[in-house]
Amino acid sequence: MPDAVRATARITYDDLVAMFPDEDDVRRELIDGELFVAPSPLVRHQRLVWRLTLSIGSHLEAHPEQGEAFGSPLDVVMTPYDVVEPDVLVVLGDQRDILTDKNVQGAPGLVVEILSPSTRKRDLTAKRQLFAREGVREYWIVDPDRNNVAVYRRNADGSFPLAITLDATDAETLTTPLLPGWELQLERWFR
């Protein structure tokens, strides 16, 4: 399956909804008006998504003031031309106004993508640039081949640099200032 379907004009979210009015299991995203279609993820990918969503979700059940976690598929409409379906996202407690019945309207505080062969390049480049531009506070890129997590974190000056890369083989623990009290042992997550 091709990674992108090229269009002659930029596609908007309204165009996408009109083209595909019924829910299905196909992942469609828009980045700068370009449509990307990805196949279903692999089993290991989904295990990592499930474990992370469960871990963060359990933490947020005990601390609902910190926010709400979601797993894919859920449209995140960042602009009319930029609509993504992150593997995991967290809308923080101070962002609840971006939640609608249909989707998320704006940049979540935390976005997580688990690299897949069909999305690796886009996750590492176009999506990282989009998240930096649109105000995501943290972006985690999970590499299941290397058992590591690269954390991009927004600085006070607005920059969005790589803050740290954590590795499961070093028995490191993933934490974030966005979710005080939450932690995940990488060795256990990647098992």
pLDDT by residue, tens only, the chain of 191 residues: 445 444 468 888 788 778 776 666 667 888 888 888 887 888 999 999 999 999 999 999 999 999 999 998 899 999 999 999 999 999 999 999 999 999 999 999 999 999 998 899 999 999 999 999 999 999 999 999 999 999 999 999 999 999 999 999 988 999 999 999 999 999 999 99
79 exposure class (CB count in 10 Å sphere: 0-12, 13-18, 19+): middle
Would you state the structure tokens that stand for residue 123, as one six-digit string? Answer: 């996750």
The answer to whether the CB of 93 falls within 8 A of the CB of 43 is: no
Q: What domains can be seen in the chain, in order of their start residue? A: 41-189 (3.90.1570.10)
The side-by-side arrangement of strands in the sheet containing 4-5 is 4-5, 34-38, 27-31, 82-84, 76-79, 104-105
Give the SS3 label for residue 86: coil
